[in-house]
């Protein structure tokens, strides 16, 4: 049977891709940020996930406003990165896991999440930067199943809905009969705002509270609307929805393995949160 080994919330700021391409990890601006990943690398080496279910938001690479799904699941054998328009080097493709994708789709639709199914999906920095951060260098030891949440076109799904999506993803994975170890990623955030006269807005107390709640009491984050989330985290800080969905997939109890938080990376408060799921027996007791 499949097992969720844990979840990681991680920022996906475009500039990270540029810094990796230019080898700036040890520069004073970048070092505090990249150093935060050392513990995550050790944890991943222990956990040995086979597949990553990566929950993120597309930024106008795969989806345009002509057809914009609230929730979409990739079902491709391979996912291509592509030119996003501002000079990030295009990464080579990521291997998919179509068997798990279709199981996820079947299970989510049965659970009344009527997702858009994508046999082709170009993946942008929302997926690619976290993958490069978590598995630096050329090795690609995991397969990927991308899941996107709309954070572009209002109305956006609510935090409560995204948490339930995550719970449904968690149920689907637990019922999957293949013997695979699954890591769930939620990317983006934390607080930031690119547009309007409030551009540059960052809310450190809210971010720290959010990371606390994700670890110990995630339902607390589901009591607000998406617009209230934007008010507190900034227009693009609403990407916390991806983290909330990730957390929903992990079940009742998690152990916080690591967190780091650094301001600023580009215009963003950059966060990393590594959560390990409770062993199966504890998990069952908690349910």
Partner 1 sequence: MSARFPVHEIPGTPIFDGAAARKGYALNRMCFSFNDKANRDAFVADEAAYCERFGLTPEQRQAVEHRNVLEMIAAGGNVYYLAKLAGILGLNVQDLGAQQTGMSVEDFKQKLVEAGQ
Give contact residues for partner 1 (rule: CB under 8 A).
Answer: 15, 59-61, 64-65, 82-87, 152-155, 193-202, 204, 225, 227-228, 230-231, 234-236, 262-264, 266-267, 269
Residue 281: CB minimum distance to partner 1, A: 41
Torsion sign (Cα): 37, 39, 42, 45: negative
Helices (H) and strands (E) in the chain, counts: 10, 10
Catalytic annotation on 125? yes
Catalytic annotation on 262? no
Query: Rounded to 5 degrees, what are φ and ψ at 254?
Result: -135, 160
Nearer to partner 1, 69 or 264 (CB): 264
Query: Rounded to 5 degrees, what are φ and ψ at 219?
Result: -65, -25
Residue 224: CB minimum distance to partner 1, A: 11
Nearer to partner 1, 147 or 190 (CB): 190
Q: How far is CA 81 from CA 29, 62, 84, 95, in A?
A: 27, 10, 9, 12
Nearer to partner 1, 59 or 164 (CB): 59
Residue 154: CB minimum distance to partner 1, A: 4
Residue 52: CB minimum distance to partner 1, A: 24
Q: How far apart are the first and last CA of the chain?
A: 18
CB atoms within 10 A of CB 161: 20
Nearer to partner 1, 174 or 231 (CB): 231
User: In angstroms, rounded to a whole number, what is the distance separating the alpha carbons of residues 235 and 239?
Assistant: 9
Q: How far is CA 68 from CA 62, 150, 167, 180, 229, in A?
A: 10, 7, 23, 31, 21
Q: Which of 12, 59, 103, 192 is catalytic?
A: 192
Q: Which of 125, 258, 262, 283 is catalytic?
A: 125
Rg from Cα positions in the chain:
17
Residue 51: CB minimum distance to partner 1, A: 28
**Could you tell me if 101 and 79 are in contact, meaning their C-beta atoms sit under 8 angstroms apart?**
no
Nearer to partner 1, 166 or 188 (CB): 188
**Could you tell me if 8 and 134 are in contact, meaning their C-beta atoms sit under 8 angstroms apart?**
yes
Residue 121: CB minimum distance to partner 1, A: 14
Nearer to partner 1, 170 or 234 (CB): 234
The neighbouring-strand residues paired with 57 are none
**Could you tell me if 229 and 188 are in contact, meaning their C-beta atoms sit under 8 angstroms apart?**
no
Active site residues: 125, 192
């Amino acid at each position: 049977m499949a097992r969720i080994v844990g979840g990681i919330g991680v920022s996906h700021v475009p500039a990270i891709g540029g810094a990796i391409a230019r080898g700036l990890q040890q520069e004073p601006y970048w070092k505090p940020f990249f150093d935060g990943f050392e513990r995550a690398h050790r944890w991943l080496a222990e956990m040995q996930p086979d597949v990553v279910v990566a929950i993120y938001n597309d930024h106008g690479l795969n989806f345009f406003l002509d057809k914009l799904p609230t929730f979409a699941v990739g079902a491709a054998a391979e996912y291509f990165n592509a030119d996003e328009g501002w000079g990030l080097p295009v990464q080579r493709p990521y291997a998919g896991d179509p068997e798990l994708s279709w199981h996820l789709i079947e299970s989510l639709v049965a659970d009344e999440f009527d997702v858009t199914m994508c046999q082709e999906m170009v993946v942008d920095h929302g997926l690619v930067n976290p993958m490069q951060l978590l598995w630096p260098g050329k090795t690609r030891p995991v397969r990927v199943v991308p899941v996107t949440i709309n954070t572009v076109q209002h109305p956006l799904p609510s935090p409560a809905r995204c948490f339930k999506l995550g719970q449904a993803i968690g149920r689907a994975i637990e019922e999957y009969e293949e013997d695979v170890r699954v890591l769930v990623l939620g990317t983006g955030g934390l607080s930031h705002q690119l547009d309007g006269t409030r551009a540059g807005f960052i809310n450190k107390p809210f971010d720290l509270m959010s990371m606390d709640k994700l670890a110990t009491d995630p339902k607390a984050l589901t009591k607000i609307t998406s617009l209230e989330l934007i008010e507190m985290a900034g227009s693009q800080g609403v990407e916390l929805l991806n983290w909330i969905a990730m957390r929903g997939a992990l079940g009742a109890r998690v152990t916080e393995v690591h967190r780091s938080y650094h301001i600023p990376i580009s215009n963003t408060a950059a966060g990393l949160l590594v959560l390990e799921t409770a062993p199966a027996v504890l998990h069952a007791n908690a349910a």
